């Protein structure tokens, strides 16, 4: 689901007794005790409460174990100083890959592979209880055996993903622990690996995965594919190839980010084109259809045999839906020095900033662990990175959407060996959170940062109220002869400055935005024939709300515009014309010759009346 939410924040006048976030980069916020060998740090923020969960893994009596800590919005740890340890399953002594996601009802779900090669999901409520049991739920009917992945749904549940190299397995787990059907992806002809998920429309999922086969030594021929499913296991559209096959090292894998429109971006670095390492970007819409025609993808930088362009991390701007991607430039000869660049790429593959914009120039120490996060209002983004390799500091820079620097900040100034988080939380209610383990002496630490570069106490803004009960239907205006969509909604408790009505067609990437008066609770949109999709937000002085939900809980309305005066139930005995939903006249009038789809018939009834009628052909 696309989030166009809060960005306004006011700095607290003073540090309260409860607030734990500090504004001193030399003394960052303590989160939990841990061993100095802990790693695999993941963060995730509940988008409703603003609480952030931090997960790390470390050795314990039952294997390489996930530990979790919960922080309130002000950075106060809520659980034991060692966090909550998942103790009951027997886990491997090495890492097969762990995953974690905060749900939108206050809890967190950790998904992992046990020592006997089964996948489990454990839910922990905000109060530290285990509603699915301390051992959790077995996923995929026992199938799978490789790394786990998890993604929050929009109703308190989660999507879980596992693989056994030959197949990928998807399953939706409701908030109450009800398991949905197991979805098996793959035909056994090629290995499946490195699957990742982005949220689709109406709580569906889009799976982006690699098909690969062994080439030689440690090299594989890899392709990237995408396919989508509903929570009931219904496939949204046929599998579609995003990346052409290339031979590369087995450890190189792709990454994905949602685009805020129900689709997403995939990106991957490899040396398959011209023998020089570069990062390539792909985009797919809400039906899994590629919007970049070239299966080579879009390169973030011109290919240069003397330099590598790798180590990328990306986010999507919530307004333009462009990808903002930052990446390292390292010399191909020694890889001893690095720069950081960034680029902006559209859903159709246009590189807006050409050869990229320099973020950080050469210094004596290399850069690593780049994180990129968009501001919630679409006004800019931050780039956070480690400066140094074994003994590092954490630096942050804020940019506007033209790539101009807004601020620079040192988030952690004490240089020591650290295991950095694999992701940041992204901006929620005006703040972003990163975490790390002090690999020199142990301990999990973290730091927040606001969209203006502020660290320490940040006051949570008021909620942006969305309209409710969005509804719409086809409408024909007899007085003007116009046809289109008639939409209605309930106003939020606080009237906005105006409403934004977004309209697009399912097969088109382009959308239009219509500004509507704040006093209105309905709108007629005159539009040509075809299927139109509408979404509605409320715009306030400092924020734009989430999309309005329909009475059925969906955040969009899909309307078939027929271009006819009425859709009669009378039988047409003589068909004179047939049109498809794009308004194109079909050859012939025999409905038995029509392919599956929706059509408009025009003709005569038995009593001689001329009428129009919509039919659905589904053989």
Count of C-beta atoms within a 10 Å radius of residue 553: 10
Query: Mean pLDDT throughout 537-561?
Result: 86
Q: For the segment 405-449, what is each residue's pLDDT rounded down to a tens digit?
A: 999 999 999 999 999 999 999 999 999 999 999 998 899 999 999
Dihedral pair phi/psi, residue 25, rounded to 5°: -65, -15
- Residues 459 and 427: beta-carbon distance below 8 Å: no
List, edge to edge, every strand of the sheet that includes 158-163. 149-152, 158-163, 168-173, 183-185
Number of domains in the chain: 3
State the DSSP code for 592.
G
Q: How confident is the model at residue 342 (pLDDT cuts 50, 70, 90)?
A: very high
Residues 472 and 603 in one domain: no
State the DSSP code for 202.
G
Residue 14 scores a pLDDT above 50:
no
Residues 40 and 153 in one domain: yes
Residues composing the chain: 619
Residue 564 scores a pLDDT above 70:
no
Residues 514 and 608 in one domain: no
For residue 554, the model assigns a pLDDT of 83
CA distance 478 to 484: 12
Residues 538 and 579 in one domain: no
Residues 585 and 555 in one domain: no
Mean pLDDT for all residues in the chain: 89
Spell out the residues 6+ positions from residue 38 whose beta carbon is closer than 8 angstroms to its own: 56, 57, 58, 67, 419, 437, 442, 444
Does 602 fall in a domain? yes
Residue 461 scores a pLDDT above 70:
yes
Residues 487 and 557 in one domain: yes
Does 438 fall in a domain? no
Residues 610 and 532 in one domain: no
Of 152, 185, 218, which residue constitutes the final position of a domain? Answer: 185
Residues 44 and 116 in one domain: yes
**pTM (2 d.p.):** 0.77
Q: How confident is the model at residue 563 (pLDDT cuts 50, 70, 90)?
A: low
Of 561, 584, 600, which residue constitutes the final position of a domain? Answer: 561
Q: How confident is the model at residue 584 (pLDDT cuts 50, 70, 90)?
A: low
For residue 362, the model assigns a pLDDT of 85
Residues 160 and 59 in one domain: yes
Which CATH number characterizes residue 496's domain?
2.60.40.10
Does 160 fall in a domain? yes
Which CATH number characterizes residue 135's domain?
2.120.10.10
Q: Which residue has the higher pLDDT, 75 or 477?
A: 75
Does 102 fall in a domain? yes
State the DSSP code for 461.
P
Range of the domain at 613: 574-617
Residues 40 and 112 in one domain: yes
Q: Which residue has the higher pLDDT, 350 or 15?
A: 350
Residues 61 and 108 in one domain: yes
Does 384 fall in a domain? no
Does 53 fall in a domain? yes
Of 137, 157, 185, which residue constitutes the final position of a domain? Answer: 185
Residue 10: in which H helix or E strand, if any? strand 10-11
Does 110 fall in a domain? yes
Residues 472 and 599 in one domain: no
Does 239 fall in a domain? no
For residue 509, the model assigns a pLDDT of 56
For residue 508, the model assigns a pLDDT of 62
List, edge to edge, every strand of the sheet that includes 52-60. 39-45, 52-60, 63-71, 84-85
């Amino acid at each position: 689901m696309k989030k166009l939410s809060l960005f306004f924040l006011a700095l607290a006048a003073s540090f309260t007794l409860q607030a734990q976030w500090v504004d001193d980069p030399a003394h960052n916020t303590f989160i939990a005790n841990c061993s100095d060998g802990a790693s695999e740090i993941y963060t995730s923020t509940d988008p409703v409460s603003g609480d952030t969960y931090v997960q790390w893994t470390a050795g314990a009596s039952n294997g390489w174990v996930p530990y979790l800590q919960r922080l309130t919005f002000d950075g106060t740890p809520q659980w034991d100083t060692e966090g909550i340890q998942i103790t009951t399953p027997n886990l491997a002594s090495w890492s097969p890959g762990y995953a974690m996601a905060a749900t939108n009802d206050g809890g967190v779900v950790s998904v992992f592979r046990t020592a006997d090669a089964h996948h489990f999901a454990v839910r922990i409520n905000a109060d530290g209880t285990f509603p699915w049991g301390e051992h959790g739920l077995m996923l995929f009917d026992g199938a799978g055996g490789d790394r786990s992945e998890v993604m929050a749904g929009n109703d308190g549940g989660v999507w879980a993903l596992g693989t056994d190299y030959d197949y990928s397995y998807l399953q939706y787990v409701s908030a109450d622990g009800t398991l949905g059907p197991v979805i098996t992806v793959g035909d056994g002809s090629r290995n499946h690996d490195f699957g990742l998920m982005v949220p689709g429309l109406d709580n569906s999922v889009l799976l982006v995965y690699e098909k690969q086969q062994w080439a030689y030594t440690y090299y594989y021929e890899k392709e990237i594919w995408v396919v989508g499913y509903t929570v009931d296991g219904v496939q949204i559209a046929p599998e579609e190839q995003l990346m052409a096959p290339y031979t590369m090292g087995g450890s190189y894998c792709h990454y994905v980010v949602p685009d805020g429109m129900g689709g997403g971006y995939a990106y991957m670095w490899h040396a398959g084109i011209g023998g020089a390492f570069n990062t390539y970007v792909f985009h797919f819409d809400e039906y899994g259809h590629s919007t970049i025609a070239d299966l080579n993808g879009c390169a973030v930088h011109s290919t240069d045999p003397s330099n590598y362009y790798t180590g990328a991390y990306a986010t999507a701007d919530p307004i333009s839906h462009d990808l903002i991607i930052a990446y390292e430039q390292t010399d191909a000869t020694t890889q001893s020095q690095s720069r950081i660049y960034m680029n902006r790429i559209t859903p159709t593959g246009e590189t807006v900033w050409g050869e990229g914009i320099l973020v950080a120039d050469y210094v004596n120490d290399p850069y690593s662990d780049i994180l990129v996060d968009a501001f919630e209002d679409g006004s800019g983004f931050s780039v956070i990175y480690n400066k140094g390799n074994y003994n590092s500091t954490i630096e942050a820079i804020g940019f506007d959407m033209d790539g101009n620097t807004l601020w620079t900040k040192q988030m952690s100034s004490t240089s020591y060996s650290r295991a950095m988080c694999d992701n940041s939380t992204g901006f929620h209610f005006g703040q972003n959170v990163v975490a790390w383990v002090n690999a020199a002496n142990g301990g999990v630490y973290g730091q927040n940062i606001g969209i203006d570069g502020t660290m320490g106490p940040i006051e949570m803004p008021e909620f942006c109220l969305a309209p409710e009960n969005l509804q719409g239907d086809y409408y024909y205006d007899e007085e003007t002869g116009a046809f289109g969509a008639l939409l209605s909604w309930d106003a939020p408790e606080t009237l906005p400055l105006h409403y934004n009505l977004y309209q697009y067609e399912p097969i088109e990437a382009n959308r239009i935005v219509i500004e509507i008066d704040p006093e209105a609770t309905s709108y007629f949109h005159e539009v040509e024939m075809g299927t139109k999709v509408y979404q509605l937000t409320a715009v306030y002085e400092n924020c734009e709300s989430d999309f309005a939900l329909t009475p059925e809980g969906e955040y969009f309305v899909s309307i078939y515009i027929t271009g006819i005066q009425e859709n009669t139930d009378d039988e047409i005995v003589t068909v004179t014309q047939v049109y498809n939903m794009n308004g194109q006249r079909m050859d012939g009038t025999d409905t038995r010759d029509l392919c599956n789809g929706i059509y408009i018939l025009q003709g005569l009834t038995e009593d001689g009346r001329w009428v129009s009628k919509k039919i659905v052909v589904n053989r």
